[in-house]
């Protein structure tokens, strides 16, 4: 392998959605540098952060029937039984939900937690509370997907956060998704909720860090023992 190939493998790809924002940050940095050099350096750091925010690294997804993988990079901020948003059409009964909070330093490209078909996409305008709060699932702007899989119907909800002002969807109703495939992106801090059908055994604890398309959230296979966690 050549040195050039080695360098290329170390460079994380940037999602095309971020090109315009990186360019705008760079232009502002140049203007600030022209006004006063120290401001230009700060603008340069902001431009580097913007490029880092829109990174889209490849992921190695476990392909095994019964597994549910994380749709987002971040930290688990909520686990429990919650009623899904009414616009998803999943009914009023509580479902197992796992919520992942994404900070402005996490990768914001979202990936499908299971293989299936997108049977519904439901957008709901709303507020912009801190996405780490429970009420964000009810009050914030959100975009929900229903994925029909062999395990049942899953609800995946992208929720805007305190800073986020744009939820981007890459898929359409009727489209098939493979587990770990990209389905959307949220700009600048947000959250993703996963609503699972009955039978899901959660294999992750509160506060755990997740990697989209790689970290296993739950298992539907029979015989998987319940897991407990401690913070050390």
Q: Catalytic amino acids?
A: 190
Tell which residue, 103, 84, 104, 107, has the closest CA to residue 94: 84
Identify the burial level of 183 via C-beta atoms within 10 angstroms of its C-beta, where 0-12 means exposed, 13-18 middle and 19 or more buried. Answer: buried
């Amino acid at each position: 392998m050549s040195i050039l190939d080695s360098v290329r493998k170390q460079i994380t790809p940037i999602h095309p959605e971020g090109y315009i924002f990186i360019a705008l940050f760079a232009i502002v940095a140049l203007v600030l540098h022209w006004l006063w050099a120290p401001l230009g350096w700060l603008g340069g750091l902001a431009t580097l952060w913007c490029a880092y925010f829109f990174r889209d690294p490849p992921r190695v997804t476990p392909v095994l029937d019964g597994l549910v993988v994380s749709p987002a990079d971040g930290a688990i901020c909520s686990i429990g039984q919650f009623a899904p948003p009414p616009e998803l059409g999943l009914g009023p009964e509580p479902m197992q939900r796992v919520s992942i909070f994404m900070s402005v330093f996490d990768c914001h490209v979202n990936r499908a937690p299971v293989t299936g078909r997108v049977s519904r996409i439901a957008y709901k305008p709303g507020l912009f509370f801190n996405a780490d709060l429970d009420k964000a699932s009810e009050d914030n702007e959100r975009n929900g997907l229903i994925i029909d899989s062999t395990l049942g119907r899953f609800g995946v909800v992208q929720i805007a956060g305190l800073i986020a002002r744009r939820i981007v969807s890459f898929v359409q109703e009727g489209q098939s998704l493979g587990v770990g495939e990209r389905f959307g992106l949220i700009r600048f801090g947000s959250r993703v909720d996963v609503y699972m059908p009955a039978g899901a055994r959660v294999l992750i604890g509160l506060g755990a860090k997740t990697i989209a398309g790689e970290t296993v959230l739950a298992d539907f296979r029979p015989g998987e023992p319940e897991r407990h966690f401690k913070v050390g």
